[in-house]
Structure 1
Amino acid sequence: MNIKWIFDRLMAFIGLIFLWPILLVVWVLIRIKMPGGPAIFTQKRVGKDGKLFTCHKFRTMTVKHGGSTVSVAGDSRITPLGAKLRHYKIDELPGLWDVLIGNMSFVGPRPDVPGYADKLEGEDREVLKLRPGITGPATLKYRLEDEMISEYVSMKQKEGDKRSMQEIAEEYNDKVIYPDKVRINRYYLHNYSFLKDIQMILCTVLGRRMNYNNEFI
């Protein structure tokens, strides 16, 4: 995948050069609209070969919050500005730095917090051979993941489920969404195509969908 390695660093460098005005504007908006904390959110994530690295994103949540790492649409922890940044994936732009320094790729599995990818067993662990990506086939399929989880939570609550919103959300993520992401990422590992990478990047930027492994993502 040498062409992938070269492409990632070259495009990340170009992206940072051309997008720095947008990065600056978003940074200023966060400091104004979400005072009391940093504009850039950093967190340890599981990277290639299971090694931890520091992931960079624009902050979308309140400074002092607890709870699950699984978020849903309308989550009180997410600010109004943060919701917009998430919806349009603008919060991911600082990840260009992570791509430039080699911790991430443009296309690959989303970098997980400890407790997910590093806990995979058997053949599923092979996804750790991949460098985490800003986008990817699983990311495209679940681009509206927060909304999907929110709809599931609402459905379960209407059925009389008395558990908390976070408990229901975690169950749906852990038993349905995450295993499906692992399946998709394993297919990506064994059927890598640079042209498909380009298509996924374009679909991410343009908000389009594409056919991948006989499913519409």
Structure 2
Amino acid sequence: MSRTIDFLISSIAVAALAPVFFIIGLMVKLDSRGPVFYRARRVGKDGKLFAVYKFRSMVVDADRSGPGITAAGDTRITAMGRFLRKTKLDELPQLLNVVKGDMSLVGPRPEDPNYVELYSAAQREILAVRPGITSAASLRYRHEEELLAGPDWEQVYRSKVLPEKLAIDLAYEKDRTLLRDLKLVLRTVLSMLDREPATPPEINAADYGTAEYGYETAN
């Protein structure tokens, strides 16, 4: 998806959703102490760091009292935050990142710098792509927090979830078209409405979980 299309769609969406932004912001403020927005430090295109915008869904200073990845049942998540995360509405402010040019509508989800350090040479190819709000991998792992609910959540993320997500996104980039991007955006919206697992068609994680994409190297 071109930068022009990204900018036009995200700008229109921000304007159209302004009342939703206001209502969610008000509910966040009434629910718990702290700012409306949370800025997460992430790695963008070409390895450059930037701030990802989200509606705050956790208590203030949550990143100082626990890991950067959250799992189902994390006590740092606020009451309003549970709703926002379940519906993915906490991600809406990332439309502002798209307007700014930090992100695209479709692209690999921006990762925490601590995990990017673990990438193999093959996996680092994904950094040539502008990160996005949605991707083939993020749809497959829409319910990632539930998968990481066990005591060994970080090992599961590093050895299974992260490499598979990278493999899926790298495979998608090799056969990416505007039509596929638009279909992915539509599937993302539909998955938010019904909250059902959304494994995108034409992408089979097992087909791409190979050493070619570094699947076996992020341990």
How far the C-alpha of 1:118 sits from its partner, in A, is 4.5
Structure 1 stretches of 4+ moved >2 Å: 212-216
Which of 142, 157, 162 pairs up with 1:178? 162
> How many angstroms does 1:70 deviate by?
1.6
Name the TM-score, length of structure 2 as normaliser. 0.86
Aligned mates of 1:109, 1:140 — CA distance in 2? 11
The one-letter amino acid paired with 2:25 is W
Q: Provide the TM-score with structure 1 as the length reference.
A: 0.87
Distance 2:96 2:35 in 1: 17
Q: Deviations over 1:85-140 (max 9, x none)?
A: 01111000000000001000011111111112354221111000111111100100
Secondary structure of the structure 2 residue equivalent to 1:192: coil
- CA pair 137-100 structure 1, distance change in 2 beyond 3 A: same
Within a 5 Å distance, the mapping from 1:22-171 to structure 2 comes to 22-35=20-33, 37-65=34-62, 66-150=65-149, 153=150, 165=151, 168-171=152-155
Partner of 2:2: 4
1:168-214 deviations in whole A, cap 9, x for unaligned? 11111011000001101111221111111111111111117331224
SS of match in other structure, 2:101: coil
Distance in 1 between residues matched to 2:137 and 2:59, nearest whole Å: 27
Q: 1:34 to 1:199 in 2, by over 3 A?
A: same
CA RMSD of aligned residues (A): 1.5
Q: Following the alignment from structure 1 to structure 2, what is the Cα–Cα distance between the partners of residues 75 and 202? A: 30
Partner letter of residue 144 of structure 1?
H
**Share of identical aligned residues, percent?**
37
Local SS of the residue matching 1:211 = coil
**Stretches of structure 2 lacking an aligned partner (at least 5 in a row):** 207-219
Structure 1: stretches of 5+ with no match in the other structure: 154-164
